[in-house]
């Protein structure tokens, strides 16, 4: 009897999660207001206007390699292209062809780095959906020094200039206006998102 009740609760939670993801994906609206002007926290979802992040400092990010080694990700000899994702994010999966194309077409211009919100399931995700650059895991994505990134939706892409400032950011999977903006910025056509089957 208890197992059936737990199964129903899990089912209802999954349906609710799907409904929220569908709403955010279709409307492009965040479910949370940002009246304070502060960047969204990682627990929030929804795309944002990348212009609000342009020019903000992009401090180094403490991460962990998949083998457990600690690494600080920061700008070095090339501008940095950060791809924030999660192995549990359906939009990240749908955005894979876009990020693969960006990496192939402009990888020599940028240092490409993937940042996962969580470690659990990441090995399987990367095996099944390869991303052509190293992916690290945040040590502490809620670190206050990272607030200038405005981490929110996954996936999110950031271009960080050599002077350590956010040059451009795209929150959410690349589609519609964000797809056209990314294509104009990078100077080539992206595949967009696969149609839902």
pLDDT at 80 over 90: yes
Q: Is this prediction's pTM over 0.85?
A: no
Average pLDDT, the chain: 80
Model pLDDT, residue 13: 46
In a domain, 28, yes or no: no
Is the Cα torsion angle 117, 132, 180, 78 positive or negative in sign? Answer: positive
Confidence band of 27 (pLDDT split at 50, 70, 90): very low
Q: How far apart are CA 150 and CA 47, in angstroms?
A: 11
CB 146 within 8 A of CB 56: no
Q: How far apart are CA 174 and CA 170, in angstroms?
A: 8
Q: Tell me the residue range of the domain where 87 lies.
A: 40-186
Integer Rg of the chain from CA: 17
In a domain, 113, yes or no: yes
| CATH code of 172's domain | 3.40.30.10
In a domain, 181, yes or no: yes
In a domain, 194, yes or no: no
In a domain, 89, yes or no: yes
The strand ranges marked E within the chain are: 61-64, 70-73, 80-85, 111-116, 135-138, 156-160, 166-171
In a domain, 57, yes or no: yes
Backbone φ, ψ for residue 78 (5° rounding) = -130, 160
What is the tally of structural domains in the chain? 1
Model pLDDT, residue 7: 55
In a domain, 170, yes or no: yes
* Higher-pLDDT residue of 188, 50: 188
SS3 72: strand
Q: How far apart are CA 15 and CA 22, in angstroms?
A: 10
The count of other CB atoms within 10 Å of the CB of residue 192 is 18
Over residues 85-144, the pLDDT tens digits come to: 999 999 999 999 999 999 999 979 999 999 999 999 999 999 999 999 999 999 987 888
pLDDT at 189 over 60: yes
Closest CA to 42 of 149, 138, 141: 141
Those residues with Cβ within 8 angstroms of residue 154's Cβ, 6 or more apart along the chain or in another chain? 84, 85, 86, 89, 91, 92, 117
Q: How far apart are CA 72 and CA 181, in angstroms?
A: 29
In a domain, 32, yes or no: no
């Amino acid at each position: 009897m208890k197992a059936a009740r737990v199964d129903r609760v899990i089912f209802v939670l999954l349906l609710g999660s799907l409904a929220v993801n569908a709403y955010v994906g279709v409307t492009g609206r965040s479910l949370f207001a940002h009246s304070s002007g502060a960047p969204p926290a990682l627990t929030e979802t929804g795309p944002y206007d990348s212009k609000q992040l342009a020019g903000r400092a992009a401090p180094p990010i403490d991460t962990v390699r998949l083998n457990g080694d600690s690494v600080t990700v920061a700008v070095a000899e090339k501008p940095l292209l950060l791809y924030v994702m999660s192995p549990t994010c359906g939009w990240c999966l749908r955005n894979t062809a876009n990020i693969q194309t960006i990496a192939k077409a402009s990888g020599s211009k940028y240092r490409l780095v993937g940042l996962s919100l969580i470690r659990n399931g990441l090995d399987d995700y990367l095996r099944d959906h390869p991303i052509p650059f190293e992916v690290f895991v945040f040590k502490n994505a809620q670190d206050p020094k990272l607030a200038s990134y405005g981490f929110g939706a996954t996936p999110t892409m950031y271009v960080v200039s050599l002077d350590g400032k956010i040059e451009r950011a795209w929150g959410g999977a690349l589609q519609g206006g964000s797809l056209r903006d990314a294509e104009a910025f990078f100077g080539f056509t992206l595949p967009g998102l696969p149609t839902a089957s």
